[in-house]
Chains A and B, each alone.
Chain A
Amino acid sequence: MTETPSGLVSRRGILARLFGGLVLALTNGHVWWRPAWAGLIEPASQSNESHIVRVSRPLDAETPVREFVSWLTPNERFFVRSHFGLPQAENVDPSHWRLTVGGLVERPLRLRLDDLKQFEEVTLTAVVQCAGNGRAFYRPTAPGVQWERGAVGNAGWTGVRLKDVLAQAGLQPSAKHIQLQGADRPVSTRTPLFVRSIPIEKARHPDTILAYQMNGRPLPLLHGAPLRLITPGWMADSCIKWLTEITVGADEAKGYYMEKAYRYPVHAVEPGGAVHAGDMKPVEAMVVKSLIAQPAEGTMLKPGPVMIQGVAWTGEGTVVKVEVSTDEGQTWTAARFVGEASPYAWRQWQFVWQAHPGAHTILSRATDDRGNIQPLASPWNPGGFLWNGVDRVRVNVANG
């Protein structure tokens, strides 16, 4: 403060306050020039690029695919998807947070985070992918967030088995579906909550876990703190974040997100056609897929050997082959696998390409042990889910 010794405010003080007031009035008192998400996503240490933001509020942001040269996706680089943004802080504060388990159970539970310590802790590495990853590539278009390639990541998840928690509650004989709800809420009370259920077989699978750590650190708020479900091999519409309520039932959950949104046709449909609700089933297991991490789209290369590398995974089963084509799919050559092989994680692969001058499109195609192969384009569906068309990257190779 520029107060004079006598206590009266000086001329300079008045002007300073006037100017400050003007700035305050003009900026509404907020530090508003930083994008709203800037405080939530830290800049990557290896690049200046931020996430590719599809929707700024509520936040939907994907990871640039070139970062998938790394087997594990760091927490702060993982893609973010939210239906309604973050929940209220007090609802996910570990000291107040509770997980309730109710419905068709013998002993309803109300667990604190510490109570989970009584169960065996497990860690597994698993790919988590948004059901709509790749939606932008469907033709005709499908409404929804227009994800391209990066709404996916591979991380270590630590927690307790859902089956152990359900066993403590004691499932009644008529229990068939496990309904899950998190603490996130829409702006309007007329907007349906994000509630879904999974079948009891998946819920009781030993690898379905209630995770409280991501890559060995406490689950970040953006990724579902303090607890989320991880359903390895399944799309992330089952990986409910900010989990607070588990309700055991005899039927699938009701509500928009279960009955209408995350469903796709049982049989192939005419692209752009309408599908009867009775012919749709929930989006569950992932499908075989590969991504080219290097070179990145639009890279300029020199002729000669070029290292093409990427990742590949599938839902149920294992990836057995990845192939690369540089002639629009007329011929395919096998790449080699490198790095870790872990049941639910993605597999890294490499391919040395003898690049010659010109514009080229590199394609990658994965095959799994059930005989599933990535198609050139995935079967169209109204929700634009489960895109797994061959990956493609355009590069330019200079003239020698």
Chain B
Amino acid sequence: MNRWDGGKPAALLFVGLVFASFTITQVWSDDRPSVRGDAESSHLRPDVQATQLLAARCAVCHSTDLITQQRLTRIQWDAIVQKMVQWGAQLSDTERDVLVTYLAARYHARDVDKAVGLSQPITSEEPAGLATGAQGPGVRQGPAGNGEWLFTQHCAACHGAAAVGGVGPTLARNPIVDHERQFWDTVTNGRGAMPPWGSILNAQEITNIRTWLKTLQ
């Protein structure tokens, strides 16, 4: 043919595709955190608001893995957030409070040696002669404990800090986490706009991420 004679079927397909793309982006935007200002987001649960602040105000300068790897007291968290505000972070006093409360609860100094998974046992013995209590290498969290860190590293850019969602769907309390085969298949091979992670994450790392996701209740 030498002129477009697509007719009805093609037109319907066109409309269908446009509609589908609207629907997809609409569904995703429901999960996408939006941080427009105090008034709009203050109705959110504080922990959700905090994760949005992390993504919108902190990640301007540095990725959130710098934050989530810390284990600090509330006083230390407060001092750090204060310093960040002096260095240019946009946070109101209320937002600062929400953020510090969240960080001190989730990333507290007392939890530094807690393992989240048990693929590598932690020695129960204090090494001989350590008066300060410092334990040295080899006595930290086993690799299974880094699921959250791995998620922040690789997944949070699309699935949101704390798996609340963003460009990609919410994974916190998402049924796919319980369907082992589907979960592995999606992570390894990708799905739609999600790239395949099989060549970047190894089996232990995918296991650790899934272990952590399952703890999000």
Question: Interface residues, chain A, CB within 8 Å of chain B?
Answer: 4-6, 8-11, 14-15, 18-19, 22-23, 25-27, 32-33, 35, 53-58, 60, 134, 136-141, 143, 145-146, 148-149, 186-192, 271, 297-298, 328-330, 361, 376-380, 389-394
Contact = CB atoms under 8 A, between A and B. Distances in A.
Contacts of B195: 33
Contact of B138 (A141, A145, A361): A361
A54 B65 CA distance: 7
A164 B80 CA distance: 41
Contact of A55 (B65, B130, B140): B65
B127 A376 contact: yes
A35 B154 contact: yes
A14 B14 contact: yes
B42 interface: no
B43 to A, nearest CB: 29
Contact of B128 (A35, A134, A271, A330): A330
Contacts of B87: 186, 188, 190-192
Contact of B200 (A15, A35, A136): A35
A110 B65 CA distance: 40
A55 B61 contact: no
Interface stretch (B31-39, B69-77, B169-177, B178-186): B69-77
A191 B88 contact: yes
B44 interface: no
B88 A189 contact: yes
A115 to B, nearest CB: 35
> In the complex, which of the residues A9, A11, A19, A271 has the most CB atoms of chain B within 10 Å of its own CB atom?
A11
B135 A377 contact: yes
B137 A149 contact: yes
Contact of A22 (B17, B88, B140): B17
A329 B127 contact: yes
B10 interface: yes
Contact of A389 (B60, B62, B136, B192): B136
B10 A8 contact: no
A26 B193 contact: yes
Contact of B136 (A54, A60, A141, A376): A376
Given A139-B133, A143-B70, 14 more contacts: A4-B1, A57-B62, A137-B134, A139-B134, A141-B70, A146-B70, A148-B137, A187-B61, A192-B87, A271-B133, A329-B127, A376-B127, A376-B136, A392-B137
A394 B138 contact: yes
Interface string B1-43: 1111010001001100100010011000000000000000000
Interface residues of B, number: 54
Interface of B: 1-4, 6, 10, 13-14, 17, 21, 24-25, 60-63, 65-66, 69-72, 76, 80, 86-89, 109, 112, 120, 123, 125, 127-140, 153-154, 157, 192-193, 195, 200
Contacts of B131: 377
Given A5-B2, A139-B133, A328 B69 contact: no
A8 B3 contact: yes
Contacts of B62: 55, 57-58
- Give the most central of B76, B134, B192, B193: most A CB within 10 Å: B134
Nearest to B136: A389
A35 B201 CA distance: 11
Given A54-B65, A377-B134, A392-B138, A6 B3 contact: yes
Which of A19, A137, A393 has the most chain B CB within a 10 Å cutoff?
Answer: A137
A261 to B, nearest CB: 11
A189 B89 CA distance: 11
Contacts of A328: 125, 127-128
Given A35-B154, A139-B112, A376-B130, A8 B135 contact: no
A145 B69 CA distance: 8
A5 to B, nearest CB: 7
B160 to A, nearest CB: 15
Contact of A6 (B2, B60, B133, B193): B2
List 9 tightest A-B contacts by C-beta distance, closest first: A188-B88, A33-B195, A377-B134, A392-B138, A190-B88, A6-B2, A57-B63, A191-B87, A26-B193
